């Protein structure tokens, strides 16, 4: 483990990075919601991060400093490489590796990180399509949320947001539907006006058939 890192602090840095990666405005309430921590706990950790020079607050908004960004990238890099190791080498199911990698990321040394890179062939993304910080060929230009797509058009899944990565049931469902990075999908229809929430969403055709996904899932899927 890198000197000076602590799992709980790393978790906050990682979450701040994930939210920033998706263009989210970060406030303490959003951190509490994402991490399922109490408001006082979040407030205490944010104060520590400010004191350590990892974040600054502008009004209510929380932003990573240059120092904080480098620390966050290190944690995220090890997490996403761990996911690759678990999936590509150990054969752990695609929908289970995020949780397992969350345990490994805190104990991967720089030496082990280099070995993982060698074994996995220098990947540029995690198994769910999210860029590995420091990879040379990562390019997310032109991607946007599936929620913004138009009906009767075909798109390619580029990545799955961290919110969905944390939900093994939804990940397993997406896998069974054929909604995974690199796969083409056809938007058959869009219905955001349904009376019942479960009827609202997008009907999608993939190589595995036709299925409907809800709005909350669609907003966490990125396509090109």
Clarify whether residues 78 and 126 are in a common domain.
yes
Residue-wise pLDDT for 105-162, tens only, equals 989 999 999 999 999 999 999 999 999 999 876 666 789 999 999 999 999 999 999 8
Clarify whether residues 93 and 169 are in a common domain.
no
Q: Compute how many other C-beta atoms are within 10 angstroms of the C-beta atom of residue 39.
A: 11
Clarify whether residues 166 and 107 are in a common domain.
no
Clarify whether residues 40 and 70 are in a common domain.
yes
Clarify whether residues 119 and 168 are in a common domain.
no
Single out the residue in 136, 167, 184 at which a domain terminates. 136
Its domain, for residue 48, covers 1-136
Burial 143-173 (b: 16+ CB within 10 A, else e): eeebbebeeeeebebbbbbbbbbebbebbeb
Clarify whether residues 124 and 159 are in a common domain.
no
Single out the residue in 112, 136, 160 at which a domain terminates. 136
Tokens encoding 118: 């060698």
Domain total in the chain: 2
pTM score of the predicted model: 0.89
Clarify whether residues 48 and 82 are in a common domain.
yes
Percent of the chain with pLDDT over 70: 92
Clarify whether residues 36 and 119 are in a common domain.
yes
To 5 degrees, how large is the angle CA 94–CA 179–CA 21?
75
Clarify whether residues 4 and 92 are in a common domain.
yes
CATH number at residue 183: 2.30.30.90
Distance CA 141, CA 131 (A): 12
Q: Is residue 184 predicted with pLDDT exceeding 50? A: yes
More confident residue, 141 or 102: 102
pLDDT of residue 111: 96
CATH number at residue 95: 1.10.10.10
């Amino acid at each position: 483990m890198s000197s000076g890192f602590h799992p709980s602090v790393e978790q906050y840095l990682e979450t701040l990075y994930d939210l920033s990666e998706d263009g989210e405005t970060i406030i303490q309430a959003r951190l509490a919601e994402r991490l399922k921590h109490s408001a006082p706990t979040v407030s205490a950790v944010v104060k520590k991060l400010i004191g350590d020079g990892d974040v600054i607050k502008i009004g209510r908004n929380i932003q990573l400093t240059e120092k904080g960004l480098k620390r966050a990238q290190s944690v995220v890099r090890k997490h996403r490489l761990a996911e690759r190791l678990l999936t590509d080498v150990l054969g752990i199911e695609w929908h289970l590796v995020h949780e397992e990698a969350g345990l490994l990321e805190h104990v991967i040394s720089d030496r082990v990180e280099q070995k993982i890179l060698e074994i996995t062939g220098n990947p540029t993304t995690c198994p769910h399509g999210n860029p590995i910080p420091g990879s040379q060929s990562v390019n997310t230009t032109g991607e946007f949320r599936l929620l913004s797509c138009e009906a009767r058009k075909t798109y390619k899944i580029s990545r799955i947001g961290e919110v969905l990565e944390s939900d093994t049931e939804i990940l397993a469902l997406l896998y069974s539907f054929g909604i995974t990075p690199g796969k083409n999908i056809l938007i058959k229809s869009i219905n955001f006006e349904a009376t019942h929430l479960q009827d609202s969403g997008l009907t999608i055709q993939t190589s595995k058939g036709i299925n409907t996904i809800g709005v909350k899932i669609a907003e966490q899927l990125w396509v090109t």
